[in-house]
Structure 1
Amino acid sequence: MILGDKITNLRKKAGWSQEELAHQLGVSRQAVSKWESGSSIPDLDKILRLSQLFEVSCDYLLLDEMEPELPQAEPEPVPILDGPQVPVHHITLEQANTYLDTVRGVASKIALGVFLCILSPTALIYLGGLSSEEGRFTLSEPLAGGVGILVMLALVSAAVALFLFFGSRLTPYEHLDNQPVELAYGVDGVVKKRQAEYQTTHLMLLVVGITLCILSLAPLMVAVAIDENGMAPIIGLILMFVIVAVGVFLLVRTCIIAGSFQRLLETGDYTREHKREENSPLTTIYWGLVLAIYLGWSFWTMAWDRTWIVWPVAAVLYAPVRSIAGLLTKK
């Protein structure tokens, strides 16, 4: 139980309203409301006054029952092996809440950019089908291709604008990805509380998003079964892109928000050990080499439709390469 919950329980046990408690402490009702919601933490003199009013010890108010150890325990040592020490960033409650709120607001915009990228080729596919369809409403292939490419470029441009504009709002927090953090007292409990409140939504969006991606082939399969040579397969293919785009939108949005909690709590993919590995020269050299191979192969063969396979292969090989490098380093 965090400090805010304890203040709420003690206030209700005493039969006081927020206004009455605020009058006792000489503060505003808004201040008490922020304490109870975890948006802010009372000053030390107010904590002393609270302990007197509720006849409890300061230890009871300050000790977080969610953590078995003392809240002011020594900071966790940064597991750096060899090399310069990485600075530890201290995060206050206000900074943590600001970061979480910023990520929640930006997540939908970045997910929308991914949504537009997935939908970008649909106009070209549809107009290409019209140009090859015999009937009263047909387009010439050059016109269909030109309009389709313009629509695709417009959607991709809009997506890039979303990535750049809203991604820039997260630039001040880039250190959370690769540098250790130390949370001020009470911040850990508040972040875990917000994470627990979002967990059900996160799981639901994961299930819906993954299900949509799996079922996205259904329209195409049905369309091919109905009319293999007409416009039906084209419509089915477009519906597949739309369903995938919606599913990926949900997945990207919820994973960005869930990742914000992991960055602050240093769990999942953002533990200190993982950050140390990501900061190692191996990571820079490996992905730089992969990029060079991809660009060199693509420009040499001009087979951009096939060279993308470099990236999933490189992602699969990265873990064993990193493990082998770690074993060699220890030896």
Structure 2
Amino acid sequence: MTEPLLRVEGLRKHFVLKKGFPKPRTIRVRAVEDISFSIEPGQAFGLVGESGCGKSTAARALLRLIEPDAGRVLFRGEDVLTAKGQALKALRRRIQIVFQDPYSSLDPRQSIGSALTEPMRVHGIATGAEARRRAAALMEEVGLPPSALDRLPHEFSGGQRQRIGIARALTVEPELIIADEPVSALDVSVQAQVLLLLRELRQRRGLSFLFVSHDLSVVRWFCDRVAVMYLGRIVEEGPAARVLANPLHPYAQVLRDASPIPDPSRRTALPRILGEIPSAANPPPGCPFHPRCIHAMPICSQQMPAWTPAPGEKAGGVACHLVG
């Protein structure tokens, strides 16, 4: 068996906050709690869940844009979390990120040409005229004219800025791209264009993706495998086709049923889900989903479910007392 491109083991991130006056109390927000998964070379891996489930925090922790509290992140066998200096710099060249909001991820005072050539200079790839030539080629590759290099971010639409963000990620020729909700801030028609671009880049350059999204239709179309997160934990993982067609975990089933299907003949009433998402600062005991689960049993509120391999699958599984 080949070594995964990326292996995440027991990743955890808690935020410690002070709240209250005049005697503030300490609150620990469990944003990411002991998650593990792996991505193979050339694979698109989806991380899905409701807003606030911790998927974006997990994605940023992989790159140490947010320093995790525990766990291991191995990229081709090298530990990202213990790397320092030039070793960390080299790893960050091989893993790049495309952010959700393309405008806030660009310096409004920096020209597009400068934004694209700066990473090349920092990583010793190219300088001067050669860097400019590479930047112009990247602009054409993402569907923008080379003349745009002399313009500023505010002169572009949201979809164009996201194309620039993708071009900037490609400047250092990465192997893995972390796409953090890359199309959620765009109009539907523009979303389709950007997704087609990402798929073309994946095929042409042999890229791997960690694709963070709450939109199951996008994940179903783009990803090979998917992990479903709830309250900082992965509750199910497996092939995207199986998880999104026949999920095992009740929460994954609710997500699947709530995803709209563009077929009027298949209209159904949206599923009802009990209660609100619990606070990550005060998660419920046992299974974190049990207060909202229509299948909850007494054991669900007492004991965290063990990770159970999915029937007939070599990798992946589900954390649910109903499966076992």
Q: Quick check: which one's helix share is greater?
A: 1
Q: TM tier, shorter chain?
A: under 0.3
TM-score when scaled to structure 2? 0.19
TM-score when scaled to structure 1? 0.19
Q: Quick check: which one's strand share is greater?
A: 2
